[in-house]
């Protein structure tokens, strides 16, 4: 090779080398942008997934699932600080039930107390690791990334713990991603906690209102609470969605609230009311509705006054206060009519006891299509007998025999009616009618008294 040829070759090699470096730089930049893009997609996805969820349990589950996938880990737990009990708790930790421990214990405790981020490649080699949870759950923790979760005021409200990276250990990039997720998640968790508190306050407020009505007449004690329990069971049978179930529960608890306007002379009069008293008594659903309409209710509860005010309407239009017909009455109002009448007929009168169960069912069936919507009578008869006994006797719940309840749970009201009418013994020796009547006629309480 001549000198000139060698120079040319060297120049070409140098140019190739420059190209290589440039290509490498471009490839690295592309990779960086691609990773950044993926990171933003993950964050966007998580924000979208959690931003509409206000139910705390479901929210925690969604967050844990998203974080687990985003960090290519096997498991993720969100530990929340319970300041009153000084504990950390995690409700759903991918397969486990609630975990609770003192807020200073273990890695999560350390992070929640100090605010440090802990990226531990070998958990069992770290003295702060509390192997007790693994022992309880049978899980084997290898590596873990634990991150404090802070609210808008920068106070620690809990910790994220991501376990067992699928390949290798958790990286610096994982820490950054978890940091970003943690900020988004903490805000939504606080919103959900606040929403839960508000719901609890509203719940206890409505339950208190209901009990003030029930307390006025010992004969109907517990009526509103039982109506709410029956309604909930029928709602499950007809697969009513959760938002409607909630409105139905409140409507059930408050359906007779309008009775606050009635005097004791009317409310506690279980004999014959005068014409005037009867008309006052019949005004209570309209008063319930009017009172509830005065409350500024959220959008999800807007139908509550109307539903509560229709529990004495009849599908043939002969009910009150408005004489509405079948489809003019909201479905929840038609459901309430069935359980309200059932509870009135099965309430435990002093001296006389309960009306016979056969008669109660006969009335429900006879009035099906005139007073009651047949669809709801049919749904009600699908109620399981353990639930029926638990609601009928909910004030003596501690005396109910668990074995009896477990056997009764295999039968519905329909099965009981069949048994009562045809007197068959098709239940492998189980005395269905006798067991039910032991509770319906409250024989079990007399047996207890006898000792």
Q: Which residues bind Fe ion (CB under 5 A)?
A: 256, 340
> Do 284 and 262 touch, CB atoms closer than 8 A?
yes
Per-residue b or e along 65-101, where b marks 16 or more CB atoms closer than 10 Å to that residue's CB: ebbbebbebbbbbbbbbeeeeebbbbbbbeebeebeb
- Report, in Å, the least distance between residue 311 CB and Fe ion: 6
For the bound state, the minimum distance from the C-beta of residue 339 to Fe ion, rounded and expressed in Å, comes to 9
What minimum distance in Å lies between the beta carbon of 236 and Fe ion? 21
Find out whether 53 and 192 touch, Cβ atoms under 8 Å. yes
Q: Please, what is the minimum distance in Å from the beta carbon of residue 335 to Fe ion?
A: 13
Question: Which residue number, 42 or 252, has a Cβ lying nearer to Fe ion?
Answer: 252
Closest distance between Fe ion and the C-beta of residue 346, in Å? 13
- Give the nearer residue to Fe ion in terms of CB position, either 340 or 386: 340
Q: Are 80 and 189 in contact (CB under 8 A)?
A: yes
Upstream peptide bond of 48 is cis (omega within 30 degrees of 0) = no
Nearer to Fe ion (CB atom), residue 158 or residue 319: 319
Nearer to Fe ion, 54 or 363 (CB): 363
- Taking the complex as a whole, the smallest distance from the CB of residue 312 to Fe ion amounts, in Å, to 6
Q: Among residues 40, 75, 71, which one has the least CA distance to residue 61? A: 75
3-state class of 162 per DSSP? Answer: strand
Backbone angles phi, psi at 369, to 5 degrees: 100, -20
Closest to Fe ion by CB, 192 vs 210, is: 210
439 membership: H or E segment, kind and range: helix 432-440
Minimum distance, C-beta of residue 216 to Fe ion, in the bound complex (Å): 13
Task: Answer yes or no: are the C-beta atoms of 408 and 379 closer than 8 Å.
Answer: no
Distance CA 178, CA 175 (A): 5
Shortest distance, position 336 Cβ to Fe ion, whole Å: 8
SS3 74: strand
Closer Cβ to Fe ion, 233 or 340, answer by number:
340
Q: How far apart are CA 235 and CA 241, in angstroms?
A: 8
Angle, nearest 10°, between helix axes 413-422 and 385-392?
100
- Which residue number, 214 or 386, has a Cβ lying nearer to Fe ion? 214
Q: Is the CB of 87 or the CB of 340 nearer to Fe ion?
A: 340
Query: What interhelical angle do 357-366 and 432-440 show, nearest 10?
Result: 90
């Amino acid at each position: 090779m001549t000198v000139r040829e060698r120079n040319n070759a060297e120049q070409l090699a140098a140019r190739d080398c420059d190209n290589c470096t440039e290509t490498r730089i471009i490839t690295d930049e592309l990779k960086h942008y691609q990773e950044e893009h993926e990171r933003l997609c993950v964050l966007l996805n998580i924000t979208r997934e959690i931003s509409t969820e206000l139910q705390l349990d479901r929210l925690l589950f969604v967050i844990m699932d998203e974080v687990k996938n985003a960090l290519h880990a096997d498991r993720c737990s969100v530990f929340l600080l319970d300041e009153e009990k000084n504990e950390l708790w995690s409700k759903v930790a991918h397969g486990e039930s609630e975990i609770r421990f003192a807020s200073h214990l273990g890695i999560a405790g350390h992070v929640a107390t100090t605010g440090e981020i802990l990226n531990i490649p070998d958990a069992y080699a770290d003295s702060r690791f509390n192997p007790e949870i693994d022992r309880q759950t049978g899980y084997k923790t290898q590596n873990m990334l634990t991150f404090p979760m802070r609210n808008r005021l920068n106070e620690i409200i809990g910790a994220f713990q991501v376990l067992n990276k699928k390949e290798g250990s958790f990286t610096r990039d994982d820490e950054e991603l978890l940091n970003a997720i943690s900020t988004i998640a903490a805000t939504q968790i606080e919103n959900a906690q606040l929403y839960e508190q508000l719901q609890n306050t509203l719940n206890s407020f409505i339950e208190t209102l209901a009990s003030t009505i029930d307390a006025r007449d010992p004969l109907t004690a517990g009526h509103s609470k039982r109506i709410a329990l029956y309604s909930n069971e029928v709602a499950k049978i007809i697969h009513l969605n959760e938002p409607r179930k909630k409105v139905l529960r409140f409507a059930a608890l408050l359906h007779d609230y309008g009775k606050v306007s009635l005097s004791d002379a009317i409310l506690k009069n279980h004999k014959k009311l005068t014409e005037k008293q009867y008309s006052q008594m019949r005004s209570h659903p309209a008063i319930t509705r009017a009172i509830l309409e005065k409350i500024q209710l959220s959008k999800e509860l807007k139908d509550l006054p109307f539903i509560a005010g229709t529990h004495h309407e009849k599908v043939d239009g002969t009910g009150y206060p408005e004489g509405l017909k079948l489809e003019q009455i909201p479905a929840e109002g038609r459901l309430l009519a069935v359980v309200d009448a059932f509870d009135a007929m099965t309430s435990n009168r002093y001296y006389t006891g309960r009306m016979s169960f056969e008669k109660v069912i006969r009335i429900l069936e006879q009035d099906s299509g005139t007073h009651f919507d047949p669809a709801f009578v049919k749904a009600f008869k699908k109620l399981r007998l353990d639930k029926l006994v638990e609601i009928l006797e909910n004030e003596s719940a501690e005396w109910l025999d668990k074995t009896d309840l477990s056997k009764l749970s295999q039968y519905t009201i329909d099965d009981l009616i069949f048994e009562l009418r045809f007197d068959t013994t098709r239940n492998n020796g189980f005395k269905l009618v006798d067991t039910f009547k032991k509770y319906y006629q409250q024989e079990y309480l007399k047996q207890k008294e006898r000792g």
